[in-house]
């Protein structure tokens, strides 16, 4: 299994604090050591980092902890290989372009017997069940809409598509096109929305705390989504199984 981390915010925000705790699980507090990756949207542009080394001591992960890249939509993943060998092509998140936008996808879970035929323009480069499922999602999205639809329409379509895949195993995933971040849980995924008044948060996986009041403005809103809660003094909400939720501007939209 793997672990997921996502962030959606209404203002460009850095992920350094959350990523520090998350990366501890890649060889420190947990054994997700078979590669990792993170993608940051900046406007329509994307920074995409993957590494087959474990995030705990990867030089690229060290850069992410030290260089506060600010983004409104981020997806990160640390991998414990179940299907597909340990190599760069199998590191999440995966990226494709559709309708002139980048789409980023990361998955936690196992899919059994889900190898639908890919007859259109999206094919996996690596050998994971996850990338195959992502390519199918992209193919079906492309067939469902002529151009990039509204977030509300996309949410409806993605909900139908996720329901096709979910019966094949555990399908916790994060997906973003830079406008919104979608999260789907089968087994475990938690989120927190931070807004004014901001408080001090303490990481679960390392002796580190941050006073968000000192680095935010009253209008900032940030949602963080993670496999397991990253802080020990905040209340994280579990995502209900088999429900796809959309996060926009740091808020989880009503179902």
Binding site for a second copy (CB under 8 A): 42-52, 59-60, 63, 66-67, 87-91, 95-102, 120-126, 142
Residue 91 or 106: which CB sits closer to a second copy?
Answer: 91
Polymer length in residues for the chain: 255
- Packing angle of the helix pair 16-24, 59-66 (nearest 10 deg): 150
Both tokens assigned to 63: 């850069």
CB of 123 to a second copy, least distance (A): 4
**Is residue 202 classed as helix, strand or coil in its secondary structure?**
strand
Residue numbers annotated as active site: 2
Residue 89 or 228: which CB sits closer to a second copy?
Answer: 89
The rounded distance, in Å, linking the Cα atoms of 186 and 45 is 30
Residue 105 or 191: which CB sits closer to a second copy?
Answer: 105
At which residue do the structure tokens 């699980």 appear? 25
The rounded distance, in Å, linking the Cα atoms of 18 and 28 is 15
The alpha carbon torsion through 99, 96, 20, 250 (nearest 10 deg) reads: 20
Decide if 71 contacts 40 (C-beta within 8 A): yes
Residue 98 or 226: which CB sits closer to a second copy?
Answer: 98
């Amino acid at each position: 299994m793997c672990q997921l981390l996502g962030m959606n915010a209404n203002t460009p925000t850095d992920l350094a604090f959350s990523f520090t705790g998350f990366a501890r699980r890649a060889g420190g507090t947990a054994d997700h050591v078979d590669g990792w990756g993170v993608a940051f949207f900046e406007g329509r542009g994307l920074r995409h980092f993957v590494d087959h080394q474990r995030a705990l001591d990867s030089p690229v992960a060290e850069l992410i902890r030290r260089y506060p890249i600010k983004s409104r939509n981020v997806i990160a993943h640390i991998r414990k290989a179940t299907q597909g060998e340990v190599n760069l092509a199998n590191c999440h998140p995966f990226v494709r372009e559709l309708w002139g936008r980048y789409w980023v996808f990361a998955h936690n879970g196992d899919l059994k017997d889900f190898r639908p035929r890919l007859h259109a323009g999206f094919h996996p480069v690596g050998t994971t069940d996850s990338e195959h499922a992502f390519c199918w999602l992209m193919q079906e999205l492309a067939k469902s809409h002529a151009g990039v639809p509204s977030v509300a329409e996309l949410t409806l379509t993605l909900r139908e598509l996720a329901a096709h895949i979910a019966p094949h195993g555990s399908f916790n995933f994060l997906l973003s096109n830079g406008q919104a971040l979608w999260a789907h849980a089968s087994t475990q995924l938690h989120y927190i929305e931070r807004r004014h008044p901001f408080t001090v948060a303490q990481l679960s996986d390392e002796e580190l705390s941050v006073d968000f009041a000192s680095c935010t403005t009253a209008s900032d809103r940030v949602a963080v989504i993670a496999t397991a809660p990253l802080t020990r003094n905040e209340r994280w909400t579990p995502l209900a199984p088999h429900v796809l939720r959309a996060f926009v501007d740091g808020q989880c939209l009503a179902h």
